[in-house]
Amino acid sequence: MERIVFLDRDAIRVSVRRPEFEHEWKEYPYTPPEKVVERLAEASVAITNRVFLREGELAQLPSLKFIAVAATGVDCVDLDACRRRGISVSNVRNWSISVPEHIFALILALRRNLFAYHEAVRSGEWHQSKNYTLLKEPMPRALRGHTLGIIGYGMLGQAVGRMAEAFGMNLLISEHKGADVIREGRIPFDETIRLSDIIVVLCPLTEETRGLIGQEELRAMPRHALLINCARGGIVDDTALAEAMESGEIAGAGVDVLNQEPPRDGNPLLDPGLKNVIVTPHVAWASVEALETLAEQLIENIEAFVRGRPQNLVT
C-alpha cells in the first residue's frame, strides 16, 4: 500500500481529491525543516509545494519512491540526489492562468502610477486642485507601441506575449544569456535588456539563471524601463534592483518573489522610501481556478506514477 504524505497542505487552499488506488494519506498544514524526515519516515510518496527536500533528508528516507511537487518550479528538491537514489520527481504544468494576469496588474499599476493617484485622493490632494484633474510625476505611460521583453518563454511567457500583443505592444523574446546560437524568433539576451521598455522575468531558477539580472544588466536598461519578476527570487539581485530604483537607473519594478521568503531578515526592496516599486508576497499563481487545476493535475501525476506510466517527470 502506498503511503502518501502531503508536507504543506495549506499551500493548496482548494479541495484535493484522494487518488483512486488503495493508500494511506497523511497531511500537515506546514512542515518545518526539522520535521521532514520524521514525517516522511515510512512514506513512499511525498507531496511538497515549497518544503525543501535536500540530500540530507533524502539520505534518511529509504522508502521514498516519488516526490510530487505541487508547483511548476522544482528548486525545492535536490534533483541530483533524487537521480542517485532512484526517486522520481514530477511537477505540475500549464496550470496557472493567474500569473500572466498578475504580471499585467503590476505593469498597469506602475505604468499608470495608480498607487500615487490613489493616495492623492485619500489624502485630499485632489480636493485642493485648481483644475478638474490632478497630474502627478512621473506622468503615466501607455503600453501601446512600447516594447515588452520576455526572459523565459514557456507556456506562461507565451501567455504574457499574447496579452502584450493584445495591448498593441511590440514583443521581444530573449535567447539564453551567453548563447552562441540564436534560435529563430529570439534575440540575444543583451539586446533584450537594452531594447525593452518592460522586462518580464519568467525563467526557472537554476544554477545558470541565479543572479541573471544584476547591476550590469540594470544599468543597460532604459531609464524609463520597468522590471517585472514573477519567476523566482535569486534570478534578480534584490540589492542591485533596489539601488537601481533609488538612483533612477530604471523607472520601476514589480516583484512577486524575493531572495528570502518570507523576508524575515528584511530586504532592500521593502524600504518604505523606495518609490515606484510593488512587492507582492509570492501570490501571482493564486486564484481559485488555477489551484483547482493544480490540485487535479497533482493527483493525476501520483496516479500515473503508481500505474507505471509516470507523467510530467523532471527526473
Class for the domain spanning 2-93+289-306: alpha beta
How many C-beta atoms surround the C-beta of residue 180 within 10 A? 6
pLDDT, position 139: 87
Q: Is 282 a catalytic residue?
A: yes
How many C-beta atoms surround the C-beta of residue 232 within 10 A? 23
pLDDT, position 168: 98
Q: How far is the C-alpha of 98 from the C-alpha of 159, rounded, in Å?
A: 10
Q: How far is the C-alpha of 173 from the C-alpha of 149, rounded, in Å?
A: 6
Catalytic-role residue among 57, 102, 232, 249: 232
pLDDT in tens, the chain (315 residues): 999 999 999 999 999 999 999 999 999 999 999 999 999 999 999 999 999 999 999 999 999 999 999 998 899 999 999 999 999 999 999 898 899 999 999 999 999 999 999 999 999 999 999 999 999 988 899 999 999 999 999 999 999 999 999 999 999 999 999 999 999 999 999 999 999 999 999 999 999 999 999 999 999 999 999 999 999 999 999 999 999 999 999 999 999 999 999 999 999 999 999 989 999 999 999 999 999 999 999 999 999 999 999 999 999
Write b or e for each residue in 127-146: b if 16 or more Cβ atoms lie within 10 A of its Cβ, otherwise e.
eeeeeeeeeeeeeeeebeeb
DSSP string, 85-129: HT-EEE---S--SHHHHHHHHHHHHHHTTHHHHHHHHHTTTGGG-
Q: Is 39 a catalytic residue?
A: no
The CATH code of domain 98-279 reads 3.40.50.720
How many C-beta atoms surround the C-beta of residue 62 within 10 A? 10
Q: Is 261 a catalytic residue?
A: yes
- Cβ-contact 196, 225 below 8 angstroms: yes
Catalytic-role residue among 282, 292, 296, 303: 282
Q: How far is the C-alpha of 228 from the C-alpha of 198, rounded, in Å?
A: 7
Going from N- to C-terminal start, the domains of the chain cover 2-93+289-306, 98-279
pLDDT, position 110: 97
Q: How far is the C-alpha of 163 from the C-alpha of 269, rounded, in Å?
A: 27
Catalytic-role residue among 24, 208, 216, 261: 261
Upstream peptide bond of 262 is cis (omega within 30 degrees of 0): yes
The residue assigned the cell 547591476 is 215
